[in-house]
Structure 1
Amino acid sequence: MLNLNSRDDNTTNSNNCLQDPVSLNVGGEIYTTTVDTLTRCRDSMLGAMFTGQIPVLRDNGGHVFIDRDAKMFRYILNFLRSSSLDLPDGFSELALLRREADFFQIRPLLEEIHHVEAAAPLSLRGGPLGAMVMVNVESKVRVLHFNLRHGPENYELRTCSVRSFKVDLFCTWRSFLALLCEHFSYTTSQGLTSPHPCNPRQNRLMLEWVPRPDELPQDQYNKQHYRGLTVSNSEVTQSDDIPANTPRSPCDITDMQGFMEELLKLALAEGFKIDLVTPDPAQILYCTSLRLVKC
């Protein structure tokens, strides 16, 4: 169970929150440090948390709980301790570290990461060499019957076909999975939601969506609990392998061709090359199985 301690608590609880040493549970990993370290950057999220400006969550053990990447927090905490970004040789998760630093709004760390990225070899900027992406896709057509209301007691039976799409994607580079989750969004009656890996430890992402046919009213679409898939990230570098007229603004994915275009746009920009296409390499945008390898 998590307990919420806010700045509106009594003075005793507030003082207890600021006593050294401070223990943090970050994504299941326990870290111990001091308030001085955590507030080194006062305008960061950690600075706001440990100066009482925003509330904190505590787990059953009394540790301050932060639901972020445990591994990356090690580098963030060490930067706050020493004002130096020390990364191991061959470190290949700069994109993930940058995302965590951006979440915590530690601007000096973001500047350091930018310098490292600018000086890094190309093989380290785009992830580890040999990283692999394997994609399997399928689609099914279903005939849907529904009543269209014309008046209080006037209904018309309608029929239309809906096509559902399913993508099972495996990637050995987790940062690329995170990039896909940022690039694609589900559209639902409640708004946009981001997909999540079905099992992060297995490096798998499952996407399932149903584009709405023009003949299917929105309320009937929502009634079936269908969801669409859209692209909202337009900052990916255009690759020479992708046509110049590929949409770069937010757009709905209405067929498998559109999904493959977006996937290849991302993968080629990150240095992946097509390794295997089935059944027909000449019809890559309509393929049912695809493998890409980081070269």
Structure 2
Amino acid sequence: MIALFSPVFCQEIIFVIMSDPVTLNVGGKVYTTSLSTLTNFPDTMLGAMFSGKVPSKKDSQGNFFIDRDGKVFRHILNFLRTSHLDLPEDFQEMSLLRREADFYQIQPLIDALQEKEVEFSKSGKITILTISVEQTRKNVSVCEEFLVFKHPYSMDVLKANIYCTSPVFLDHLKSKLRYYMNGTFSSIPNSPVFHQRLNLDWVANVDGFNENDYTKLRLVRLYVLPDKVQINSSQEFAEGLLKTAVNDGFRVVSSKSQTTNNTFIRLIRYK
């Protein structure tokens, strides 16, 4: 006879509970799975929800209710079951699936989606675009004649790193940008090594500087054609580039801002 709290008996109880069917209503679409599947990755939102760490809601039929996209949840559920990402060859909702993976906080699925995006990119099915913009403040002094320095000035230094699997789009982007230095506009130079990357470095307007001050310090400013509008902040640059990308068929997959002056955006365009 097995003792009531023997290890074997407890294991049997846990097995039954974890194997019992669980019914979910995800955005109006009903799924049935097991508790063990939903808690397969404990550090996710679903893992927390079905381990009792966070409260859950139920619909009028007694199904657990999640107000998210019900159609792509099948791919979420299949990944929880197998730890493999299997998508149809003609899958067109990568950006939506990525947002859902972010919502459910399933990091292994997010990693698998990034690998799938690279795979699709190599096969020519999608174009990947990432935009990273950083703005920092620094102090400088301008040396006048006889080695007399003006009081220190504060300036914003900006850096943008852009990666795109389409060199054609990068060329299109560079055609809209111009550096301004020594009173002259110049085209953005091509990278001698990375044909899928564009790195930009420039400064915003500095209060109290005249054109001679910019020239002395060899400071470069950035303008956008055709109206020659100067870019003075990371937000201006990110918003302008995002508009150009969306008009070219890209969709935002994810966007992160550590601060108001540091932004990372990931986009995808389907063929």
TM-score, structure 2 as length reference: 0.49
Q: Which of structures 1 and 2 has the larger relative contact order (alpha carbons within 8 angstroms, sep 6+)?
A: 2
Tell me the TM-score normalized by structure 1. Answer: 0.45
